[in-house]
Amino acid sequence: MRLNSPQMNIIYKACIKASRSLIRDFGEIEKLQVSSKGPGDFVSVADKKTEKIIIEELLKAHPDYGILSEEAGEINKNNKEKRWIIDPIDGTSNFLNGIPQFAISIGYEEKGEITSGIIFDPIKNEMFFAEKGSGAFLNNSRIRVSNQKKMRDSILVTGGPRFSSKRRSETFDEYINISNKVNIPIRKYGSASLDIANVACGRFDGFWQWELNYWDVAAGIIILKEAGGFIEFLKDSSEKSLLKKNTVATNSKIHQELLDSLIKKNIE
Ligand code: 2AM
Ligand code: CA
């Protein structure tokens, strides 16, 4: 790995260790899909197992650091100065269906700011990582966002509208509006962290998705920033809170144009 700080080493080791068990579990999914019980329970066990390995490994290095993780919630709650933000399997539905598009995402936050992060796709063996001031990398290579300046020539990615969301109709309108406007290709890959990582390395030019959780985006924040991109969280006027991350992440050049194209109703 090209970054060698103690903090990167800790999250790198935790990530690699957890990925071994995750890859094994993914190999079992196919068999489970034909069983009558289905893979649902198995996946939630895999999720918790991966998370346990990550947390154990991290706490071994710093037992007093805070943790916010999708399944386990908060650990060492009082330590808000130094904490890790973890998503053990981002892209759970893909994992559940045997679709190889999911990642482990670990961000490290100091005094409220993410300063290092890893997003690891264990199936493609692609590790995206970055540290504040040191650039962003994919495996051994430095990465940068695309140079695309116009949205009409862009390729975008989104989680799209979620049917459970009260924002469903708005997000659906946005989706249709943007794709119809100038026939911009929009992809829907099902893992928010990998979507952001793929903007960071220039495969996509922009990403948006409403109501994500902090663990979906934490590592992506630093990876995208260090790759020269721009990530922004829009406030929802009904919630007045930044707890749910209404996320727009781009190569920075198409940022304003994408923002303008999203329906701004309900967004301050
Ligand atoms: P997950 O796989 O860890 O649940 C899918 O559109 C992306 O959005 C995934 O990264 C998924 O993370 C994330 N997401 C966050 N909250 C979600 C929710 N309530 N329902 C579906 N996907 C959600
Ligand atoms: Ca997630």
Torsion angle defined by CA atoms of residues 94, 148, 212 and 238, in that order, rounded to the nearest 10 degrees: -150
pLDDT digits (tens, 9 = 90+) for 165-196: 555 556 666 666 676 666 788 899 999 999 99
Sheet holding 103-110, edge to edge: 73-75, 66-69, 82-90, 103-110, 113-121, 126-131, 135-138, 141-142
2 or 135, higher pLDDT: 135
> What stretch(es) of the chain map to CATH 3.40.190.80?
151-261
User: What is the CATH topology of the domain spanning 151-261?
Assistant: D-Maltodextrin-Binding Protein; domain 2 (3.40.190)
Confidence of residue 105 (pLDDT cuts 50, 70, 90): very high
- Which ligand 1 atom is at minimum distance from the Cα of 94? 2
> For the residues 68-97, what does the mean pLDDT come to?
95
Confidence of residue 268 (pLDDT cuts 50, 70, 90): very low
How much is the average pLDDT of 136-146?
97
The bound ligand whose nearest atom lies closest to the alpha carbon of 159 is 1
Average pLDDT of every residue of the chain: 89
Name the segment(s) of the chain with CATH classification 3.30.540.10: 6-142
Q: In a mutational test of the pocket of ligand 1, which residue from 48, 162, 193 has the highest number of ligand atoms less than 8 Å from its CB? A: 162
Measured in angstroms, how far is the CA atom of residue 120 from the centroid of ligand 2?
13
Question: How far, in whole angstroms, is CA 221 from its chain's centroid?
Answer: 9
3-state helix, strand, coil in the chain (%, to 5): 40, 30, 35
Task: Look up residue 52 and give its two tokens.
Answer: 């346990």
Mean pLDDT of 126-143: 97
> CATH: 3.30.540.10, 3.30.1330.10, 3.40.1080.10, 2.40.30.30. Which one for 6-142?
3.30.540.10
Position 264 confidence tier, pLDDT thresholds 50, 70, 90: low
Residues of the chain with pLDDT > 90, as a percent, come to 69
- The string of DSSP codes covering 71-106 is TTEEESTT--SEEEEEEEEE-HHHHHTT-S--EEEE
Cβ–ligand 1 contact at 220 (below 6 Å): no
pLDDT tens, 229-260?
999 998 765 555 556 788 999 999 999 999 88
